Amino acid sequence: MVSTFIVLLVAALSLFLVWTILRPGPSQIRSLDDWETKKHDVDLVAFRLLLDPGEEDYLRTLFPSAEFRRLQRRRLGLALRSLNLVGKNAAMLMRLGQLAKAGANLRLAKEADDLIYGALRLRVNLMLAQPYLAVKWLFPACALSVPSFEMRYEELLSYFSRVRQQRQWEFKQALGSKVGFIRLQE
């Protein structure tokens, strides 16, 4: 009976994790322009400083232990908020990749696949980094190192810029051919 309950609990948890990772971004994202208005700005330099072990050691020597723990919890809270914003951005980029892939040429479809794969990989990494930060928030004096994700986020943004460039190039090509067609008819 107990083992059946544990298996069902693990299966439900697994389904929830898969749903969390694979769910698309907000449905309000319909174009590349929507990204510009709805994206969340994340300062990766500040994030790196929040999780820098050297910075943590410096603060540990500077402040008494009770104040250090309070300050460290604030820093980790900010880092968790940053992770949430990056996760929301990754979900939006995943949705944009799906939109770019629909009716695209072969090159744009490959770039969109890279964007979707990168967003998916980043979301999995974020799901692994958040528990580390939560444990570190509970025990601010422990020396846990958080898995790095910011390089993958920067890589994801570069995938997105390639999709955007390809999409703009296609638009200019289509516009140029229509203008040429109009000139030929005149």
d(C-alpha 172, C-alpha 3), whole Å: 61
Q: Count the helix, strand and coil residues of the chain and give each as a percent rounded to the nearest 5.
A: 80, 0, 20
Taking alpha carbons only, the member of 125, 128, 124, 112 closest to residue 167 is 112
Residue 176 has pLDDT above 50, yes or no: no
Residue 181, pLDDT > 60, answer no
Cα-based angle 54, 60, 64 (whole degrees, multiple of 5): 170
Q: What is the pLDDT of residue 180?
A: 39
Q: In the numeric block, which tokens belong to residue 28? A: 């309000």
Residue 78 domain boundaries: 2-185
Tell me what pLDDT residue 99 has: 81
Cβ proximity of 163 and 112 under 8 Å: yes
Q: What are the structure tokens assigned to 139, written together?
A: 């025990």
Taking CB atoms within 8 Å and a gap of at least 24, the contacts of 103-111 are: 105/170, 107/166, 108/163, 108/166, 108/167, 108/170, 111/159, 111/162, 111/163, 111/166
- Which residues are CB-contacts of 40 (< 8 A; sequence separation ≥ 6)? 85, 86, 88, 89
Which range in 143-147, 160-164, 177-181 is most confidently predicted, on average pLDDT? 160-164
Residue 140: strand, helix, or coil: coil
In angstroms, the CA 17 to CA 24 distance is 14
Q: What is the pTM of this model?
A: 0.71
Examine the pLDDT at 52 and tell me if it is beyond 60: yes
Tell me the C-alpha distance between 98 and 153, whole Å. 18
Overall number of domains in the chain: 1
What's the pLDDT score for residue 97? 84
pLDDT level of residue 173 (50, 70, 90 thresholds): very low
